[in-house]
Structures are given as structure tokens and as C-alpha cells.
Amino acid sequence: MKQIPKKEKTWFYKWFLNNQVTVVLLNILVFFLVIFLFSQISFVFDPINQILGITMPPVILALVLYYLINPLIDVLENKFHINRVISITFVFIIIAALLIWGVMSLIPFVQNQIDSLVQNWPHYWDGLNKSLQNMFKDPKLHVFRENLVNSNAKITKNFEQAINKILPQTFSGISSAVSTVTNIVVIVLTAPFILFFMLKDKNKFKESVVSLVPTRLKKSTGEMLTEMSQSLSSYITGQLTVAFWVAVMFFVGYLIIGQRYALILGISAGILNLIPYVGSTLALIPSLIIGAFIAPSMVVKILIVFAVEQTIETRVISPIIVGNKMEMHPVTTILVLLVSAGLFGLIGMIAGIPIFAILKIICTRIFRWIKRNSHWYEDNEAEDKVVDEVIEGTDDSDKIHK
């Protein structure tokens, strides 16, 4: 390429053609221009969105089950030398037997507790309101009493409006309800087949992806996929294990203090615990309402159970099972939860952290590649090399002196 003589270099060349800031800004402009163009032809991607909406739910369910079952399959294959297909079949039979036992024994009991809770919930709510109004009988607290009455009236009115709106649409929404049930059945029936082949051919997906990238990127791509898989495995298994023990601790604690609906409240606490930081607190609200209806002392007992559970979870269970494998600062976790909840609601709160972890791994890899292949970090690398040489020279002089 012909070099431009120094005297011929114009201001346009200096400020636009040979300016890194300008090049970066132009790249950013092109990036957002591409996004704008894609947004104008978004209808082209509607079939893709529909396909992903159909295929992703069973794949995600199978992926979660994969990270739970794969360690057991690996142990049976590597330690006991059992054929992988036989191990998978054996584990599937055990899981099917446990599910049948759960449906036959636990589901009716849980259903009875749910039905009883739904029937008695209005009495609990009214009892809580009366208790709070009695607390604010003092004339000095009439403002708080009026606000409480107004809030209760608004909540009751909104609830009645929602019921009146839902009931007329019940028969018109039968088709959509049937469609939803059909989708759930399809997901439940399809996920085991996907899971079977995930467990059977666990390394083929990685090999297929790596084979598509250029030769010089194969190693880094394989390492990135392994890191992403390990991060997802740590998060999924850790969160589900902690949620299970949270449900057990709440269930046992509520049985000890004599709280009603101990099983359903414990299960709901375990499920809501999948939402980091706020899940257990959300599960505490219905338990406190039921406890307040029973007796004020029950509220104190529930708070003691919650304090004991939180102490065991944060000091024992979470450090042992989860640890700090996600390598995320608590402030970062809270910000991710706020953003994901604001954008995608409950699903965003549950899936926000693992998705952020994957994006973090990808961005870190890209940044390392840019750092190695650009001239922006040459000074830092030269300084690091000089420091390393100084340290090595110091070590060598110390050895000679000795």
C-alpha cells in the first residue's frame, strides 16, 4: 500500500482516517445502524420467534435436568464402568418411579392443603385487617387507620373486579386454556427424549460447535464452551439444592411450631427461593398472615423460624453448596435482578443471573482477544513484561547470593 508523504497528510487524514477514536465511533454508528435496519424488518424474524417459542421450553427443561442428572451418570460410567445408555435407562426408571410415588401420595395431600388454604384465605385476610384496626384504635393514629381502611377497600375492589372480569371470559378462553395445557403436556413428554440424547451424546454438541469455527479459534472456543457449561452447572445445581433444603427447613420449622399448611408453605418457600435475595422473604408473607390470624405469638414463632432458616442457609448451606462459583459481586447481582425483573418479570428474576454469567464469559473472552490483537494495550503489556523480568532477575540474584 502506497504511503502518504508527511507533507501531504491533510487534516481529514489526521482526524478521520488515522484517528482511533473516529474509527471506534464509526464502528458504533454502524452497529446501531444495523440494529435499526433489523428492527425495520422484524416481521421477517417472526417465524423464527415462533419456532424458538415452541422448541426452547422443552430444551431448557431438558438442560436443567441434564445438569442435575449428568454427574450421577458420569459416576456410574467412570467409577462403576456401567454402560452409559444402561446408566441413563436405570436413572430414568428410578425417576419415573419416584414421580409415580409422588403423584400417588404427595399430590393429594398438597391438593387438600391448597384447597383448604384457598377457602380459608378470606377469613385470614379479614382477621388480619381487624387485628390491625384494633391496633390503631388510638385517636392519635386515626390517619393510619383511615389509610389502612382505604387500602383494604382498594385491594378488595380490585380483586372483585378481576374476578368479575375473569368469569365472563372463562368459556371464551377455553380454547386458549386447552392450548396451554396441550403445550405443557408436549413439553413434559418431549423433554425426556431431548434429555436422553443430551446425556448420551454430551460431548458431541461441543465438538460440533468447535468444528464450525476457524482453526486458530478452536481452542479458545472449546474453553469458552466448557467455562459456560461449568458456570451453568454450578448455578443450576446449587440453586435447586439450596431451594430443596430451604423447603425442608421451613416445613420442619412450621411443624415444630404448629403452623397450619406447613407442607404447602414449605414448598412455596423452596420455589420462591429460586429468586435470589428476596425469595424467602416473599414466601414469609402468607405465613405471617396465617400466623397473625391464629395468635400474635405465632407471628413471633414464624419470625424465629425464618431467622434460624436464614442463618443456616447463609452460613452453612449456601457457602458449602454454592460458594462463590459465579464470581459476582452482590451489588452486581442486585442490579442484574432489578433490570431482569423490570424487563421480563418473574422469569427474568430467575434466569437473569445465569444469562448474565454467560454474557460475562463471552464479553471477557472478546476483551482478551481484543487486548491480544490490538495496539491499545501494548504499553501495559510492556510494563508487565518489564516487571516480570525484574522479578525474575531478583530471584536469580537471590539464588546466586545463597
Provide mean pLDDT across the span 5-11. 57
Q: Which residue has the higher pLDDT, 12 or 318?
A: 318
Mean pLDDT of the chain: 77
**Mean pLDDT throughout 76-84?**
88
Highest mean pLDDT among 123-127, 153-157, 364-368: 364-368
Q: Which residue has the higher pLDDT, 96 or 384?
A: 96
Residue 92 is assigned to a structural domain of this protein = yes
The reply to whether 121 falls in a domain is yes
Residue percentage of the chain with pLDDT more than 90:
15
Give the model's pLDDT for residue 170. Answer: 43
Q: Is 320 contained in some domain?
A: no
Model confidence band, residue 378 (pLDDT cutoffs 50, 70, 90): low
Asked if the model's pLDDT at residue 252 lies above 70, the reply is yes
Q: Which of 149-158, 238-247, 279-288 has the lowest mean pLDDT?
A: 149-158
Quick one: pLDDT at residue 174? 47
Q: What is the 3-state secondary structure of the chain?
A: CCCCCHHHCCHHHHHHHCCHHHHHHHHHHHHHHHHHHHHHCHHHHHHHHHHHHHHHHHHHHHHHHHHHHHHHHHHHHHCCCCCHHHHHHHHHHHHHHHHHHHHHHHHHHHHHHHHHHHHHHHHHHHHHHHHHHHHCCCHHHHHHHHHHHHHHHHHHHHHHHHHHHHHHHCCCCHHHHHHHHHHHHHHHHHHHHHHHHHHHCCCHHHHHHHHHCCHHHHHHHHHHHHHHHHHHHHHHHHHHHHHHHHHHHHHHHHHHHCCCCHHHHHHHHHHHCCCCCCHHHHHHHHHHHHHHHHCHHHHHHHHHHHHHHHHHHHHHHHHHHCCCCCCCCHHHHHHHHHHHHHHHHHHHHHHHHHHHHHHHHHHHHHHHHHHHHCCCCHHHHHHHHHHHHHHHHHHHHHHHHC
Range in 125-134, 159-168, 229-238 the model is least confident about:
159-168
pLDDT higher than 80, residue 208: yes
Q: Is the per-residue pLDDT at 93 higher than 90?
A: yes
Is 204 domain-assigned? Answer: yes
Quote the pLDDT of residue 235: 87
State which of 19-23, 78-82, 146-150, 168-172 shows the largest mean pLDDT: 78-82
- The mean per-residue pLDDT over the stretch 334-362 comes to 84
> Does residue 272 belong to any structural domain of this protein?
no
Task: Examine residue 202 and state whether it is found in any structural domain, yes or no.
Answer: yes
Mean pLDDT of 226-245: 89
Of the listed ranges 74-78, 158-162, 248-252, 298-302, the one predicted with least confidence: 158-162
19 pLDDT band (50/70/90 cuts)?
Answer: low
Residue 177 clears pLDDT 70, i.e. is over it: no
Q: Which of 150-164, 205-219, 258-272 is modeled with the greatest confidence?
A: 258-272
The pLDDT value given to residue 302: 92
Given this model, what pLDDT does residue 286 score?
85
* Residue 212, pLDDT score: 85
Q: How many structural domains compose the chain?
A: 1
- Would residue 274 count as lying in a domain? no
State yes or no: pLDDT of 119 exceeds 60.
yes
Domain limits for position 190 = 53-130+180-210
Is 201 a domain residue? yes
pLDDT tens-digit series, residues 264-321: 899 989 988 888 777 778 888 888 888 877 777 888 999 999 999 989 988 888 777 7
Residue 390 pLDDT? 46
Span of 81-95, 180-194, 223-237 with lowest mean pLDDT: 180-194
